[in-house]
Structure 1
Amino acid sequence: MEWIWDGGRVCLDFVNTLRDRKQEPRETLAEPADLERWLHEGGLIAEGAGEADLARVRRLRETIDRCVRAVAGGELPAAADLALVNEAAADAPRPAVQAVVDEGRLVASAPPRTADDVAGALGLIAQDAVELMLAAEARRVRICGSGTCGLRYVDRSPAGNRRWCSMARCGNRTKVRVHAERARGR
Protein backbone atom coordinates (compact mmCIF):
# COMPACT_ATOMS: atom_id res chain seq x y z
CA MET A 1 0.00 0.00 0.00
CA GLU A 2 1.23 3.47 -0.84
CA TRP A 3 0.30 5.79 2.00
CA ILE A 4 -0.60 9.43 1.44
CA TRP A 5 1.03 11.93 3.79
CA ASP A 6 -0.42 15.20 2.44
CA GLY A 7 -2.63 16.07 5.41
CA GLY A 8 -0.11 18.29 7.16
CA ARG A 9 -0.86 16.67 10.53
CA VAL A 10 -0.60 13.05 11.63
CA CYS A 11 -4.26 13.04 12.70
CA LEU A 12 -5.35 14.08 9.19
CA ASP A 13 -3.03 11.55 7.56
CA PHE A 14 -4.72 8.98 9.81
CA VAL A 15 -8.19 10.15 8.72
CA ASN A 16 -6.96 9.87 5.13
CA THR A 17 -6.41 6.12 5.48
CA LEU A 18 -10.03 5.86 4.31
CA ARG A 19 -9.78 6.92 0.67
CA ASP A 20 -12.23 8.05 -1.99
CA ARG A 21 -14.78 9.22 0.59
CA LYS A 22 -16.80 11.16 -1.99
CA GLN A 23 -17.69 8.05 -3.98
CA GLU A 24 -17.17 4.51 -2.77
CA PRO A 25 -14.87 4.69 0.29
CA ARG A 26 -11.82 2.43 0.10
CA GLU A 27 -10.30 1.06 3.31
CA THR A 28 -6.49 0.99 3.41
CA LEU A 29 -6.31 -0.44 6.93
CA ALA A 30 -7.86 -3.76 5.94
CA GLU A 31 -5.59 -6.01 8.01
CA PRO A 32 -3.57 -5.65 11.20
CA ALA A 33 -0.38 -5.70 9.10
CA ASP A 34 -1.64 -2.61 7.21
CA LEU A 35 -2.11 -0.80 10.51
CA GLU A 36 1.36 -1.78 11.69
CA ARG A 37 2.92 -0.56 8.43
CA TRP A 38 1.06 2.75 8.57
CA LEU A 39 2.04 3.34 12.21
CA HIS A 40 5.66 2.46 11.46
CA GLU A 41 5.89 4.66 8.34
CA GLY A 42 4.18 7.48 10.25
CA GLY A 43 6.94 7.35 12.85
CA LEU A 44 4.61 6.24 15.62
CA ILE A 45 6.33 2.84 15.99
CA ALA A 46 3.72 0.44 17.30
CA GLU A 47 3.76 -3.28 16.86
CA GLY A 48 1.49 -6.13 17.70
CA ALA A 49 -1.70 -4.91 16.04
CA GLY A 50 -4.48 -7.50 15.98
CA GLU A 51 -7.92 -7.92 14.42
CA ALA A 52 -9.51 -6.43 17.54
CA ASP A 53 -7.54 -3.22 17.01
CA LEU A 54 -9.01 -2.56 13.56
CA ALA A 55 -12.53 -1.75 14.78
CA ARG A 56 -11.14 0.57 17.46
CA VAL A 57 -8.84 2.24 14.92
CA ARG A 58 -11.63 2.84 12.42
CA ARG A 59 -13.96 4.19 15.09
CA LEU A 60 -11.31 6.61 16.33
CA ARG A 61 -10.46 7.65 12.77
CA GLU A 62 -14.06 8.59 11.96
CA THR A 63 -14.51 10.29 15.34
CA ILE A 64 -11.41 12.44 14.77
CA ASP A 65 -12.73 13.30 11.32
CA ARG A 66 -16.09 14.44 12.69
CA CYS A 67 -14.44 16.48 15.47
CA VAL A 68 -11.93 18.23 13.23
CA ARG A 69 -14.52 18.98 10.54
CA ALA A 70 -16.85 20.43 13.18
CA VAL A 71 -14.14 22.73 14.54
CA ALA A 72 -13.02 23.68 11.01
CA GLY A 73 -16.61 24.67 10.30
CA GLY A 74 -16.82 26.85 13.41
CA GLU A 75 -18.90 24.38 15.41
CA LEU A 76 -18.33 22.36 18.55
CA PRO A 77 -17.76 18.61 18.27
CA ALA A 78 -20.37 16.28 19.71
CA ALA A 79 -19.72 15.55 23.39
CA ALA A 80 -19.49 11.78 22.83
CA ASP A 81 -16.98 12.27 20.00
CA LEU A 82 -14.86 14.60 22.09
CA ALA A 83 -14.92 12.15 24.98
CA LEU A 84 -13.67 9.32 22.73
CA VAL A 85 -10.81 11.46 21.36
CA ASN A 86 -9.84 12.60 24.86
CA GLU A 87 -9.94 9.02 26.14
CA ALA A 88 -7.63 7.88 23.34
CA ALA A 89 -5.31 10.87 23.87
CA ALA A 90 -4.91 9.86 27.52
CA ASP A 91 -3.12 6.70 26.31
CA ALA A 92 -0.35 8.70 24.61
CA PRO A 93 3.10 8.19 26.08
CA ARG A 94 4.30 11.22 27.96
CA PRO A 95 7.86 12.04 26.96
CA ALA A 96 9.84 13.93 29.55
CA VAL A 97 10.54 17.54 28.67
CA GLN A 98 14.27 18.15 28.55
CA ALA A 99 16.34 21.33 28.75
CA VAL A 100 18.74 21.97 25.86
CA VAL A 101 20.87 24.89 24.73
CA ASP A 102 19.84 26.21 21.32
CA GLU A 103 21.57 29.24 19.80
CA GLY A 104 22.87 30.30 23.19
CA ARG A 105 19.48 29.99 24.92
CA LEU A 106 18.07 27.40 27.28
CA VAL A 107 14.89 25.96 25.74
CA ALA A 108 12.59 23.01 26.28
CA SER A 109 12.91 20.02 23.98
CA ALA A 110 10.94 16.81 24.14
CA PRO A 111 12.26 13.52 22.76
CA PRO A 112 10.52 12.09 19.68
CA ARG A 113 6.97 10.95 20.35
CA THR A 114 6.74 7.24 19.71
CA ALA A 115 4.71 4.45 21.26
CA ASP A 116 5.35 0.84 22.21
CA ASP A 117 1.85 -0.42 21.41
CA VAL A 118 -1.22 0.36 19.32
CA ALA A 119 -3.06 2.10 22.18
CA GLY A 120 -0.12 4.45 22.69
CA ALA A 121 0.17 5.15 18.95
CA LEU A 122 -3.56 5.91 18.75
CA GLY A 123 -3.07 8.13 21.78
CA LEU A 124 -0.43 10.12 19.91
CA ILE A 125 -2.77 10.50 16.94
CA ALA A 126 -5.65 11.57 19.20
CA GLN A 127 -3.37 13.99 21.04
CA ASP A 128 -2.44 15.56 17.69
CA ALA A 129 -6.15 15.89 16.89
CA VAL A 130 -6.76 17.62 20.25
CA GLU A 131 -3.86 20.00 19.59
CA LEU A 132 -5.22 20.74 16.10
CA MET A 133 -8.76 21.39 17.36
CA LEU A 134 -7.40 23.86 19.92
CA ALA A 135 -5.22 25.70 17.39
CA ALA A 136 -6.21 28.46 14.98
CA GLU A 137 -4.91 26.15 12.24
CA ALA A 138 -8.10 24.07 12.62
CA ARG A 139 -9.95 26.71 10.58
CA ARG A 140 -7.63 25.89 7.68
CA VAL A 141 -8.57 22.22 7.45
CA ARG A 142 -10.00 21.53 4.00
CA ILE A 143 -11.42 18.62 2.00
CA CYS A 144 -9.92 17.97 -1.43
CA GLY A 145 -11.90 19.68 -4.20
CA SER A 146 -11.69 16.65 -6.49
CA GLY A 147 -15.03 15.07 -7.23
CA THR A 148 -13.82 11.67 -6.04
CA CYS A 149 -11.05 12.13 -3.47
CA GLY A 150 -12.18 13.64 -0.17
CA LEU A 151 -8.77 13.64 1.57
CA ARG A 152 -8.43 16.10 4.42
CA TYR A 153 -5.50 18.54 4.71
CA VAL A 154 -4.36 21.74 6.38
CA ASP A 155 -4.26 24.58 3.86
CA ARG A 156 -0.97 26.33 4.60
CA SER A 157 -0.91 28.29 1.35
CA PRO A 158 -0.28 32.02 1.96
CA ALA A 159 -3.64 33.02 0.47
CA GLY A 160 -5.52 30.13 2.07
CA ASN A 161 -6.88 29.00 -1.28
CA ARG A 162 -5.45 25.51 -1.78
CA ARG A 163 -8.09 23.37 -3.51
CA TRP A 164 -6.61 19.88 -3.71
CA CYS A 165 -4.97 17.43 -1.35
CA SER A 166 -2.03 17.35 -3.76
CA MET A 167 -1.44 19.26 -6.97
CA ALA A 168 0.51 16.27 -8.33
CA ARG A 169 -2.41 13.92 -7.75
CA CYS A 170 -5.86 15.49 -7.72
CA GLY A 171 -4.99 18.98 -8.96
CA ASN A 172 -3.40 17.79 -12.19
CA ARG A 173 -6.10 15.17 -12.80
CA THR A 174 -8.82 17.76 -12.38
CA LYS A 175 -7.09 20.26 -14.67
CA VAL A 176 -6.56 17.58 -17.36
CA ARG A 177 -10.22 16.52 -17.12
CA VAL A 178 -11.50 20.11 -17.36
CA HIS A 179 -9.19 20.83 -20.31
CA ALA A 180 -10.40 17.68 -22.12
CA GLU A 181 -14.04 18.64 -21.50
CA ARG A 182 -13.41 22.12 -22.92
CA ALA A 183 -11.61 20.65 -25.95
CA ARG A 184 -14.54 18.30 -26.65
CA GLY A 185 -16.96 21.23 -26.41
CA ARG A 186 -15.18 23.21 -29.14
Structure 2
Amino acid sequence: MKMLLIYTYPNHNSLNYAFLQKVIKGSNENTNIEELQVLDLYEENFDPLLVFNEQKRRRDMYTDPNIEKYRKQIMWADKIVFIYPIWWGRPPAMLLGYIDQLFSSNFAYKDKKGLFPEGLLKGKSVVCVSTMKGPTNYPFLWLNNSHKILMKRALFNFVGIKKVKFFEFGNMESPKGNQKKKLEKVYNYFQKV
Protein backbone atom coordinates (compact mmCIF):
# COMPACT_ATOMS: atom_id res chain seq x y z
CA MET A 1 0.00 0.00 0.00
CA LYS A 2 1.19 3.52 -0.86
CA MET A 3 0.12 6.15 1.64
CA LEU A 4 0.00 9.94 1.38
CA LEU A 5 -0.17 11.97 4.62
CA ILE A 6 -1.52 15.50 4.24
CA TYR A 7 -0.71 17.52 7.36
CA THR A 8 -2.43 20.86 7.89
CA TYR A 9 -1.32 22.70 10.99
CA PRO A 10 1.11 25.67 11.18
CA ASN A 11 2.97 24.57 14.32
CA HIS A 12 5.34 21.61 14.69
CA ASN A 13 5.29 21.93 18.48
CA SER A 14 1.67 20.87 18.66
CA LEU A 15 -0.60 17.96 19.36
CA ASN A 16 -1.49 17.75 15.67
CA TYR A 17 2.21 17.30 14.88
CA ALA A 18 2.39 14.59 17.55
CA PHE A 19 -0.47 12.81 15.72
CA LEU A 20 1.49 13.10 12.47
CA GLN A 21 4.52 11.54 14.16
CA LYS A 22 2.42 8.66 15.53
CA VAL A 23 0.93 8.00 12.07
CA ILE A 24 4.43 7.96 10.57
CA LYS A 25 5.80 5.70 13.31
CA GLY A 26 2.92 3.22 13.09
CA SER A 27 3.07 3.21 9.28
CA ASN A 28 6.82 2.60 9.25
CA GLU A 29 6.27 -0.47 11.44
CA ASN A 30 3.50 -1.80 9.18
CA THR A 31 4.71 -4.22 6.50
CA ASN A 32 1.54 -3.59 4.44
CA ILE A 33 2.69 -0.01 3.81
CA GLU A 34 5.44 -0.10 1.22
CA GLU A 35 5.81 3.65 0.60
CA LEU A 36 4.91 6.78 2.53
CA GLN A 37 4.90 10.44 1.47
CA VAL A 38 4.21 13.42 3.73
CA LEU A 39 2.78 16.69 2.43
CA ASP A 40 2.92 19.48 5.02
CA LEU A 41 0.76 22.19 3.43
CA TYR A 42 2.16 25.00 5.60
CA GLU A 43 5.78 23.96 5.21
CA GLU A 44 5.15 23.60 1.48
CA ASN A 45 3.76 27.16 1.39
CA PHE A 46 0.77 25.80 -0.49
CA ASP A 47 -1.35 28.66 -1.85
CA PRO A 48 -4.99 27.90 -0.98
CA LEU A 49 -6.39 30.85 -2.95
CA LEU A 50 -8.42 30.13 -6.06
CA VAL A 51 -7.78 32.47 -8.96
CA PHE A 52 -10.03 32.47 -12.02
CA ASN A 53 -9.71 34.90 -14.90
CA GLU A 54 -9.36 34.87 -18.71
CA GLN A 55 -6.06 32.96 -18.51
CA LYS A 56 -7.00 30.62 -15.66
CA ARG A 57 -10.46 29.13 -15.94
CA ARG A 58 -12.16 26.89 -13.42
CA ARG A 59 -12.95 24.21 -15.97
CA ASP A 60 -9.21 23.88 -16.71
CA MET A 61 -8.05 23.35 -13.11
CA TYR A 62 -7.34 19.68 -13.79
CA THR A 63 -4.50 20.75 -16.12
CA ASP A 64 -3.05 23.56 -13.96
CA PRO A 65 0.75 23.05 -14.03
CA ASN A 66 1.12 24.73 -10.60
CA ILE A 67 -0.59 21.80 -8.87
CA GLU A 68 0.56 18.95 -11.14
CA LYS A 69 2.84 17.46 -8.46
CA TYR A 70 -0.08 17.32 -5.99
CA ARG A 71 -2.30 15.57 -8.56
CA LYS A 72 0.47 13.02 -9.08
CA GLN A 73 0.64 12.41 -5.32
CA ILE A 74 -3.09 11.72 -5.13
CA MET A 75 -2.97 9.37 -8.12
CA TRP A 76 0.05 7.58 -6.63
CA ALA A 77 -1.59 6.96 -3.23
CA ASP A 78 -3.78 4.01 -2.31
CA LYS A 79 -4.62 5.56 1.07
CA ILE A 80 -4.78 9.29 1.80
CA VAL A 81 -4.52 10.42 5.42
CA PHE A 82 -5.55 13.94 6.44
CA ILE A 83 -4.35 15.32 9.79
CA TYR A 84 -5.89 18.66 10.78
CA PRO A 85 -7.73 20.59 13.49
CA ILE A 86 -11.43 21.32 13.34
CA TRP A 87 -11.91 25.08 13.51
CA TRP A 88 -15.44 26.50 13.56
CA GLY A 89 -16.88 23.06 12.82
CA ARG A 90 -14.82 22.46 9.69
CA PRO A 91 -11.24 21.85 8.47
CA PRO A 92 -8.87 24.84 8.20
CA ALA A 93 -9.05 27.14 5.16
CA MET A 94 -5.61 25.89 4.06
CA LEU A 95 -6.93 22.34 3.69
CA LEU A 96 -10.18 23.48 2.10
CA GLY A 97 -8.15 25.47 -0.45
CA TYR A 98 -6.14 22.34 -1.25
CA ILE A 99 -9.37 20.37 -1.68
CA ASP A 100 -10.94 23.10 -3.85
CA GLN A 101 -8.01 23.00 -6.23
CA LEU A 102 -7.14 19.31 -6.29
CA PHE A 103 -10.52 17.60 -6.23
CA SER A 104 -11.54 19.23 -9.49
CA SER A 105 -13.66 18.23 -12.45
CA ASN A 106 -11.96 15.87 -14.95
CA PHE A 107 -9.41 14.86 -12.30
CA ALA A 108 -11.39 13.72 -9.25
CA TYR A 109 -14.80 13.40 -10.92
CA LYS A 110 -16.42 13.65 -14.32
CA ASP A 111 -19.87 15.01 -15.03
CA LYS A 112 -22.25 12.60 -16.69
CA LYS A 113 -25.94 12.28 -17.30
CA GLY A 114 -27.96 11.98 -14.13
CA LEU A 115 -27.83 13.46 -10.68
CA PHE A 116 -24.31 12.43 -9.60
CA PRO A 117 -20.98 12.55 -11.42
CA GLU A 118 -18.63 9.65 -11.97
CA GLY A 119 -16.01 9.53 -9.23
CA LEU A 120 -12.54 9.12 -10.74
CA LEU A 121 -10.72 8.26 -7.49
CA LYS A 122 -12.37 4.87 -6.97
CA GLY A 123 -10.37 2.25 -5.12
CA LYS A 124 -8.62 4.70 -2.82
CA SER A 125 -9.35 5.00 0.89
CA VAL A 126 -9.14 7.92 3.30
CA VAL A 127 -8.48 8.39 7.01
CA CYS A 128 -9.21 11.74 8.68
CA VAL A 129 -7.44 12.42 11.98
CA SER A 130 -8.87 15.62 13.43
CA THR A 131 -8.62 17.43 16.73
CA MET A 132 -10.76 20.09 18.37
CA LYS A 133 -10.92 22.12 21.53
CA GLY A 134 -14.59 21.36 22.16
CA PRO A 135 -16.08 18.08 23.35
CA THR A 136 -15.86 15.04 21.10
CA ASN A 137 -19.63 14.95 20.53
CA TYR A 138 -19.86 18.67 19.73
CA PRO A 139 -19.99 18.25 15.90
CA PHE A 140 -22.58 15.49 16.21
CA LEU A 141 -24.87 17.08 18.79
CA TRP A 142 -24.68 20.78 17.89
CA LEU A 143 -23.70 20.77 14.23
CA ASN A 144 -25.67 17.76 12.94
CA ASN A 145 -22.43 15.91 12.20
CA SER A 146 -21.52 18.54 9.60
CA HIS A 147 -17.78 17.79 9.62
CA LYS A 148 -18.21 14.13 8.72
CA ILE A 149 -20.98 14.88 6.22
CA LEU A 150 -18.80 17.50 4.55
CA MET A 151 -15.79 15.21 4.30
CA LYS A 152 -17.45 11.87 3.57
CA ARG A 153 -20.58 12.64 1.58
CA ALA A 154 -19.91 16.01 0.00
CA LEU A 155 -16.28 15.28 -0.89
CA PHE A 156 -14.98 11.72 -0.77
CA ASN A 157 -18.11 9.83 -1.88
CA PHE A 158 -18.59 12.42 -4.64
CA VAL A 159 -15.16 11.58 -6.12
CA GLY A 160 -15.59 7.82 -5.75
CA ILE A 161 -13.84 7.19 -2.42
CA LYS A 162 -16.19 5.01 -0.39
CA LYS A 163 -13.89 3.77 2.38
CA VAL A 164 -13.50 6.66 4.86
CA LYS A 165 -12.45 6.35 8.53
CA PHE A 166 -12.56 9.15 11.09
CA PHE A 167 -10.58 9.74 14.27
CA GLU A 168 -12.32 12.84 15.62
CA PHE A 169 -10.78 13.78 18.96
CA GLY A 170 -12.30 16.41 21.25
CA ASN A 171 -11.20 18.13 24.47
CA MET A 172 -7.66 18.34 23.13
CA GLU A 173 -6.77 21.50 25.05
CA SER A 174 -7.96 20.05 28.35
CA PRO A 175 -5.56 18.45 30.85
CA LYS A 176 -8.16 15.66 31.04
CA GLY A 177 -8.24 15.17 27.26
CA ASN A 178 -6.50 11.76 27.34
CA GLN A 179 -4.07 12.93 24.67
CA LYS A 180 -1.59 10.08 25.23
CA LYS A 181 -4.33 7.46 24.96
CA LYS A 182 -5.61 9.02 21.72
CA LEU A 183 -2.10 9.23 20.27
CA GLU A 184 -1.62 5.54 21.03
CA LYS A 185 -4.97 4.69 19.41
CA VAL A 186 -3.85 6.32 16.17
CA TYR A 187 -0.41 4.71 16.35
CA ASN A 188 -1.94 1.25 16.88
CA TYR A 189 -4.33 1.69 13.97
CA PHE A 190 -1.59 2.61 11.50
CA GLN A 191 0.68 -0.12 12.78
CA LYS A 192 -1.94 -2.71 11.72
CA VAL A 193 -4.02 -1.17 8.89
What is the TM-score when the length of structure 1 is the normalising length?
Answer: 0.30
Decide which structure has greater strand share: 2
What is the TM-score when the length of structure 2 is the normalising length?
Answer: 0.29
Q: Which has the larger radius of gyration?
A: 1
Decide which structure has greater helix share: 1
